[in-house]
Amino acid sequence: MLPLRLCRLWPRSPPTRLFAEATRQRRFVELSEAYQVLSREQSRRNYDHQLRWATPPKSPGTTAHPRSAHQTHSSWTDPNARYWAQFHGVRPQGPESRQQQHRHNQRVMGYCLLIMLAGMGLHYVAFRKLEQMHRSFMDEKDRIITAIYNDTRARARANRARLQQEQQQRQQLQPPPGPPPGPGIVPPGTSP
């Protein structure tokens, strides 16, 4: 993809005009170096690897340490160098510091897992306690409702018995119904 970009940039600045100004000459050198690096598979892989680790690429044909790549007179500079510079003290540099960081990360992950498990256990215990409280509350509520129901039912039976008794007493005190007074009308089925 980058070689295609180089091909697109090339017609805009042909070599005859590139040497006219210093900036254009520097741009031509950059394009040439980029093409030289990206035209070979191995150098392209190195370039990708160095970009991934935010170090400037080595000049073609050199096997210098990445730190010494800054000292070469290559015109390539990492566009994000200022951003990544703030993290140089944070990221471990050597293999032993990386192992130490790895152990630290594992320890932190273990603590996180322990805290998560403790939180789950606490939630489980709290849920069980809440469930027990809810059950006891519901049992108490059911007991109260049942007591009220039984009391109301007993009062209703007593009232019904009292009303029946009063009705019987009224019936006993009332004279039996006789023929209606007056000249009158004889109910059917009775003889005068």
Span 8-63, pLDDT tens digits: 655 555 555 544 567 777 788 888 888 888 888 888 888 877 877 765 545 555 44
User: Is the predicted pLDDT of residue 68 greater than 60, yes or no?
Assistant: no
Would the pTM of this model clear 0.85, i.e. be above it?
no
Write down the pLDDT at residue 127. Answer: 95
Q: Is 91 left (phi over 0), alpha (psi -120 to 50) or beta?
A: beta
* Helix, strand, coil share of the chain (percent; to 5): 70, 0, 30
Confidence tier at 131 by pLDDT (50, 70, 90) = very high
User: Is the predicted pLDDT of residue 71 greater than 70, yes or no?
Assistant: no
Percent share of the chain, pLDDT over 70: 61
Tell me which DSSP letter residue 94 carries.
S
User: Is the predicted pLDDT of residue 120 greater than 60, yes or no?
Assistant: yes
Q: Which residues does 58 contact at the CB level (< 8 Å), separation at least 6?
A: 46, 50, 64, 66, 69, 72
* Count of Cβ atoms closer than 10 Å to residue 117 Cβ: 10
